[in-house]
Structure 1
């Protein structure tokens, strides 16, 4: 176990600065903060390495998908991708989170630019937004 602790402390393969990692829940959660030593001991005692490796594979897959859909693309395409992602969220999220907030929480774009683009898409009939909530995506144009 000591070797694993040293590896985790000395390596930055998964994240360069864990203090910059933000995890945001869209549903109520319960959590517990434990020191790394306690977590590693628990994993060893209960032979949870397989579960952790599956979890890390899932996180890596999701991160890879995020990078593919959100890197090196136009602002318009990024907004389209996020509108599609919002459309695939559970009903509670779609009914409580505005399209603008959903996009702004996930990008460094300006509120003005996002609102302008959403308004234009709504006026053009490409999407239906009521009271800020995404109701439906009809067909998004190829270019903005």
Structure 2
């Protein structure tokens, strides 16, 4: 599913230009003390940059999303255990949920909101589908293909850490599969970074 950029931009622009908006635009940087909380009920508007969300108890990362984005449209998705990771850096502003809904209603932005909500739901569904996989190879294959489709991830991420931090699987198990795939010339890896992927076998 493609990200609904136009619909997100329409809502964000409308909110910024609204006389009822009193929140200022802030910059989130992990090295500074922050006042943006995932456990609260405010809607968070990500203007640019990227963010990752992590569960502090399990240390599992839900994934990386780039701006623009509207976070927490679905209420009560994130508990106080969820935080932005140290890789997150973005500009944002917040809005109380009741004011957000009133604005959407007043400006008849329900159709745009539905598109954004559908995309948010799809992202959560994708994550849950991976978590339901009971075969480690299928999980590794999924993330190798995901990384291979994103040049920035290929350049930046250590693939073993990327997979283990999102799944809870052991490093040894993931590395065993990566080594065997490299040995079979299905992938190439240098200093932990993925260089290329061929069509991966159905089973390991």
- TM-score by length of structure 1 reads 0.72
Matched residue, 1:106:
166
Pairwise CA distance, 1:115? 1.8
Matched residue, 1:134:
194
Bigger shift: residues 39-48 or 117-126: 39-48
Matched residue, 1:41:
102
Output the CA distance in 2 between the equivalents of 1:56 and 1:39: 14
Runs of at least 5 residues in structure 1 that lack an aligned partner in the other structure: 1-7, 9-13
Structure 1 residues 130 and 106, CA gap change in structure 2 (3 angstroms): same
* Structure number having the greater strand percentage: 2
Pairwise CA distance, 1:44? 3.1
Are 1:83 and 2:166 matched, yes or no? Answer: no
Output the CA distance in 2 between the equivalents of 1:40 and 1:16: 16
Matched residue, 2:135:
74
Output the CA distance in 1 between the equivalents of 2:90 and 2:165: 19
Output the CA distance in 2 between the equivalents of 1:105 and 1:73: 17
Runs of at least 5 residues in structure 2 that lack an aligned partner in the other structure: 1-40, 42-73
Bigger shift: residues 129-138 or 38-47: 38-47
Output the CA distance in 2 between the equivalents of 1:120 and 1:68: 25
Say how many residue pairs are matched.
131
Output the CA distance in 1 between the equivalents of 2:99 and 2:76: 22
Are 1:92 and 2:184 matched, yes or no? Answer: no
Contact 1:100 1:132 in 2 (8 A): yes
RMSD: 2.9
